[in-house]
Amino acid sequence: MTPTRLLLKLSGEALAGSGVPFSPDEIQKLVRVLSTTATIELAIVVGGGNILRGARSGWLDRVDADEVGMLATVLNGLVLRDYLEQTNRAAIVQSAVATQFTESVDPRRARQALAAGTVVIFTGGTGNPLVTTDTAAAIRAVSVRAELLAKASNVPGVFTADPRTGTDAHLIPELSYDEFLAHRYGVMDLAAVEICKEHNLPIVVFDFSEQDAIAKLVTGDRVGTLIH
C-alpha cells in the first residue's frame, strides 16, 4: 500500500521533552522525520497529551478537561506549523475550535491545500468534549479523502494483550475491522475504527520511534499492524 494522501495521527508527546511540554530538539527531530513524506500529500491530526490529557487529568471535570485539551492541540498545531515552515515546508492549521490564529476546519479548502503540496494540520479535535482525537483523525481522514490513516503510537502495533503487562502478548501484523472491534483492543478508539470501517479506510498502527517507520509507510513497506 503506497498512499498518495496520508493522514497521520500524531501524539502531542512527540513534541515534548523531559518534564517540558515542548522540546526544540524533539520537534526538530519530528520535522526531520516528516521530511520523508515530501513526496506525498500529508495531513496531520495532533493530540494535546504533552500539555493535558483530558480523560486522564483527574483533577478537572471531564468536560472542562477535554475543552482545555482541545485548546492544547491548537497550541501544538501552531508550534508544528512554525517548525515545518522553517524547513520551507508549507503548512496551514485548521481548528474545530475557533481562534484568530487558525482557519476553521474546511474539508474542501484542506483538499485543495493538500493537492498543492501544503501540509494540513488539524487541531481542536472534533470540537466536542468526550470524543478522542482518534475519532477526530478518522473523521478528518475521510473528509480529505485520505487513502490511509496512520496512528503513531508508543507500541509497535496491535497486540493480543497489553504488551506492558501480558507475558504472552504478541504482535498481530494484520486484522480486520470486525476482529479489532470484537476484541476491543485498547490501542485505538473503537469509534474511530467504526468510522474507518464504514468508509473502507485502512488503518496502520505503528511505533513512531521505530527508525524509518514513516519512510516505510510512504513507500508502501509494512510497519506495525494493518487494520482493514
β-sheet bridge partners, residue 174: 226
State the DSSP code for 105.
P
Does this model's pTM top 0.85?
yes
CA-to-CA dists, residue 177 to 52, 182, 191, 196, angstroms? 30, 9, 11, 8
Q: Is residue 202 part of a domain?
A: yes
- Domain count for the chain, please give it: 1
- Please name the amino acid found at residue 72: A
CB atoms within 10 A of CB 148: 24
* Residue 220: CB atoms within 10 Å: 10
Q: Is residue 186 assigned to a domain? A: no
Residue 41 lies in a domain: yes
Of 48, 17, 12, the residue nearest 152 (C-alpha): 12
Angle at 207 between CA 3 and CA 184, to 5 degrees: 90
Cell of 9: 495521527
- Residue 149 within a domain: yes
Residue 132 domain-assigned? yes
Query: Does 145 fall in a domain?
Result: yes
Task: Give the structural domain span for 17.
Answer: 5-181+191-227
Residue 164: the pLDDT is: 72
Whether 101 maps to a domain, the answer reads yes
What is the per-residue pLDDT across 56-108, written as a single tens digit (0 to 9) for each? 556 788 898 899 999 999 999 999 999 999 999 999 999 999 999 999 999 99
What gap in Å lies between CA 90 and CA 166, rounded to an integer? 43
DSSP states along 134-155:
HHHHHHHHHHTT-SEEEEEESS
Distance from C-alpha of 72 to C-alpha of 56, rounded to nearest angstrom = 14
19: in domain: yes
**Digits of tens for pLDDT over the chain (228 positions)?**
789 999 999 999 999 988 899 999 999 999 999 999 999 999 999 999 999 865 555 678 889 889 999 999 999 999 999 999 999 999 999 999 999 999 999 999 999 999 999 999 999 999 999 999 999 999 999 999 999 999 998 888 999 887 777 667 889 999 999 999 999 998 899 999 999 999 999 999 999 888 889 999 999 899 999 999
DSSP of 205-216:
EEETTSTTHHHH
Q: What is the CATH number of the domain that holds 42?
A: 3.40.1160.10
- Exposure string over 181-213, b if 16+ CB within 10 A, otherwise e: eeeebebbbeebbebbbeeebbbbbbebeeeeb
Q: Give Cα 178 to chain centroid, integer Å.
A: 22
